[in-house]
Structure 1
């Protein structure tokens, strides 16, 4: 049976951030920690060795595959900072047009630093992702 690699852990978010070598990336991780915490209202938790997640939901696909994942998360990786949101839709794409310097994939948006983006749009992307996932995967279903 498939085993999820990224699970919630008891590891310290602050200890993880403090281990980031690059001072600018560490500072941005703290900024994102504040933005995500304030916007979601959820405490930060480590998911796997390198993802800081907020809230969680349980998903179950038609294939039978199921698991738990954070509603939104970020990871201050060496090359870029990864921001994880629910997969895109038209509203998300419209927001990303004015987001600032980034690249994006299916569920990820990659930035170099927080100064490159519009923080108000980031907050809206977080709110939109949380709303979408809570509607798609209601608790107790």
Structure 2
């Protein structure tokens, strides 16, 4: 693969399976509204151009990017807001690899995937991430 942050992985039968990130590289999926800037609903798109980023978010996320981690913004903003969103991210200097539009609205997500998924709830401040034991739901064996 052209991206050296990914490791080619094969199943026991030798067939290729989805690539995984190299050890130590994280793939961050980050919400925009209410997480890196004020909470701007789709119903008020005029605010999307003028809102300001949270300084700690900009500094932290760009640091993660500079340290080789993958940054993907995953937002409930609709596809019609892609241009204003990309312009806003670029205007404020956010470094990122991708932008996914149309995240389901309403919160209380339960993500099911064939890859390891970790979640961190944003509570108003970007700080260093620490490990913490928590109860999670898993499929019954």
TM range (shorter): under 0.3
Higher strand share: 1
Q: TM-score, with normalisation over the residues of structure 1?
A: 0.25
Greater C-alpha radius of gyration:
2
Query: Which TM-score applies when normalising by structure 2?
Result: 0.25
